[in-house]
Chain A
């Protein structure tokens, strides 16, 4: 029974996706240009890094392939995150336009509707392709044996990383329930943290390391998972357990944020949307 409920939901999700795709096809040219723009923007960052690194053989024990392998996690997990959670990313618009009221009068879960109703294929592809390019060029030259166990672990950290990022976005999305808009601050923090996480966190002063572990935990999106695979010396600076924690951090963050979300929905229902 539960199972058939799940399949049924999956089908509804699929129906939503079909419409999102149709909209995208309607604006083929526009969306292709956006995809290309995102791809170029991210690729430029990669090329800049490449030019800087090309002068060195190693930086603090990391060679270029290893650094780009580390970098690839950011793109692949971000791509997965926007693929599924674009609705959460843009949640503030949903509340401020009053559209969210409509979700409340449909016989489906709220988060389900938010997630299902939006797919951002340009961002998914733009980031995803960069991620795959980086991955393909590095994953087989940094000494990883891609056996079953490693493949499964890789998948779990990519999913975990996506969930960590989704949780950060959902936390700020919740603020919309109190009509507080902090998307700008969020984007500032999120994308700068992400940029910092492009390099091994051991390169940074202790307080930035702490921030990327405990506050905006991007270290679990790329640094610790990458360390699991390529085990560099600087891992000695940190607790070994961190290497396995990505899925756990993801789940814990998501559970906590979901509780906050529920609290927010309740508050929304008692205050109403002041803009409508």
Chain B
């Protein structure tokens, strides 16, 4: 059995219907009316030990709701979840000692105290043995650079420092599984990269299983082999990051630097999208136009200094999927 098994998971929220005005509120109080909101709609997947999985989808898709059910905060409306053989909400405490959770939007550190104090407390809450605690503190200092601000009150830390400390706090008890809900939100490029590096290291060295929610595709590309996409509570893709790029990133960009300025370049099969001095960018569809032909045409007619082919960015692909431009069901094998 896989480490995480999710089968036909459904979460419906009940929403109070509120009426306007005083009479309306009295009415809502006396005769409560509810509507249902299906946040997660029969999702199934399984995750093996040691996998890193990106869990993405547009705002309101149901990612956080799913993470909350996996961590035991919410009970499912129907369907089953097992995490390491346990039900997260029935065996809440047991499950809690084996998982780590990072909520990017909220810190678990004591606001007015140095980071070190929260870490000390967590040591007791999770019954972390001394040697494990020491090892982890060393590792976190090395890769996350925590020692720089360990003694500073949390309220004085920058967003990036706080996030690093929070990630450390969630990993202190050597959890088998870590859930990240938007761990890189609001961080700069360097801080993001540091966190990705840390995630990769922990996954590689400890075989920790990870589920990663984010809106930054680069996070996914750099840390996850597999990706699950959900939209409107439904799973629409489950497969490798590579596959989705291959199949849907059909357009390529050819960047050419000419030896002199050429006003009008004729290049059949490609379209000029940008121009800057002697440089020009051409977009073409890789399954319609061969790149070798384009290069041939160009080099025969003009003097060329430099030429590069740019891969599509997954960001663009995902954007198109969210906007409904790509229908994954029809074409992809990944969906199970």
Q: What is the interface of chain A, defined by CB distance below 8 A to chain B?
A: 8, 11-12, 15-16, 19, 22-23, 26-27, 98-99, 101-102, 104-109, 266, 269-272, 274
Minimum CB–CB distance for B270 against chain A, Å: 48
Minimum CB–CB distance for A177 against chain B, Å: 13
- Chain A residues contacting B127 (CB-CB under 8 Å) are 8
- Chain A residues contacting B75 (CB-CB under 8 Å) are 266, 269-270
- Chain A residues contacting B65 (CB-CB under 8 Å) are 272
Minimum CB–CB distance for A1 against chain B, Å: 15
- Chain B residues contacting A27 (CB-CB under 8 Å) are 112
Name A8's closest neighbour in chain B (CB-CB). Answer: B127
Q: What is the interface of chain B, defined by CB distance below 8 A to chain A?
A: 13-15, 65, 68, 71-75, 77, 89, 92-94, 96-97, 99, 101, 103, 106, 108, 110, 112-113, 117-118, 120-121, 124-127, 153
Question: Would B113 and A107 count as touching, CB distance under 8 A?
Answer: no
- Chain A residues contacting B72 (CB-CB under 8 Å) are 104-105
- Chain A residues contacting B13 (CB-CB under 8 Å) are 271-272, 274
Question: Would B97 and A107 count as touching, CB distance under 8 A?
Answer: yes
A104 with B73, Cβ < 8 A, contacts A23-B110, A272-B68 known = yes
Complexed CA–CA distance, A169 and B78 (Å): 34
Partner of B112, one of A8, A23, A98: A23
Could you list 29 examples of A-B contacts with CB < 8 Å? A11-B124, A12-B125, A15-B121, A16-B121, A19-B117, A19-B121, A22-B117, A23-B112, A23-B113, A26-B112, A26-B113, A26-B153, A98-B106, A101-B103, A102-B106, A104-B71, A104-B72, A105-B72, A107-B93, A107-B125, A109-B93, A266-B75, A269-B75, A270-B74, A270-B77, A271-B13, A272-B13, A274-B13, A274-B15
Question: Would A271 and B14 count as touching, CB distance under 8 A?
Answer: yes
Question: Would A102 and B74 count as touching, CB distance under 8 A?
Answer: no
Partner of B113, one of A11, A22, A98, A269: A22
Minimum CB–CB distance for A10 against chain B, Å: 11
With A22-B113, A26-B153, A105-B71 given, name 4 new contacts (CB 8 A).
A19-B121, A23-B113, A101-B73, A270-B77
Minimum CB–CB distance for B167 against chain A, Å: 15
4 A-B pairs with the lowest CB-CB distances in the bound complex, closest first:
A107-B97, A107-B96, A15-B124, A107-B93
- Chain A residues contacting B120 (CB-CB under 8 Å) are 15
- Chain A residues contacting B14 (CB-CB under 8 Å) are 271
Most chain B CB atoms below 10 A, which of A8, A11, A102: A102
Name B64's closest neighbour in chain A (CB-CB). Answer: A276
Complexed CA–CA distance, A105 and B73 (Å): 7
Name A13's closest neighbour in chain B (CB-CB). Answer: B124
Minimum CB–CB distance for B206 against chain A, Å: 19
Complexed CA–CA distance, A22 and B121 (Å): 12
Complexed CA–CA distance, A12 and B127 (Å): 9
- Chain A residues contacting B112 (CB-CB under 8 Å) are 23, 26-27
Complexed CA–CA distance, A35 and B32 (Å): 44
Minimum CB–CB distance for B262 against chain A, Å: 57
Complexed CA–CA distance, A114 and B68 (Å): 20
Question: Would B94 and A107 count as touching, CB distance under 8 A?
Answer: yes
Minimum CB–CB distance for A112 against chain B, Å: 10
- Chain A residues contacting B153 (CB-CB under 8 Å) are 26
Minimum CB–CB distance for A209 against chain B, Å: 32
Name A27's closest neighbour in chain B (CB-CB). Answer: B112
Complexed CA–CA distance, A161 and B187 (Å): 51
Minimum CB–CB distance for B28 against chain A, Å: 12
Minimum CB–CB distance for B67 against chain A, Å: 10
Name A265's closest neighbour in chain B (CB-CB). Answer: B92
Complexed CA–CA distance, A269 and B81 (Å): 15
Question: Would A19 and B93 count as touching, CB distance under 8 A?
Answer: no
- Chain A residues contacting B93 (CB-CB under 8 Å) are 107-109
Name A270's closest neighbour in chain B (CB-CB). Answer: B75
Complexed CA–CA distance, A272 and B69 (Å): 10
Complexed CA–CA distance, A228 and B157 (Å): 56
Most chain B CB atoms below 10 A, which of A16, A22, A107, A266: A107
Name A271's closest neighbour in chain B (CB-CB). Answer: B14
Complexed CA–CA distance, A269 and B65 (Å): 11
Complexed CA–CA distance, A26 and B112 (Å): 8
- Chain B residues contacting A105 (CB-CB under 8 Å) are 71-73, 96, 99, 101
Minimum CB–CB distance for B192 against chain A, Å: 24
- Chain B residues contacting A109 (CB-CB under 8 Å) are 93
Complexed CA–CA distance, A8 and B127 (Å): 9
Minimum CB–CB distance for B130 against chain A, Å: 14
Most chain B CB atoms below 10 A, which of A22, A27, A102, A105: A105
Complexed CA–CA distance, A8 and B113 (Å): 24
Minimum CB–CB distance for A121 against chain B, Å: 14
- Chain B residues contacting A102 (CB-CB under 8 Å) are 103, 106, 108
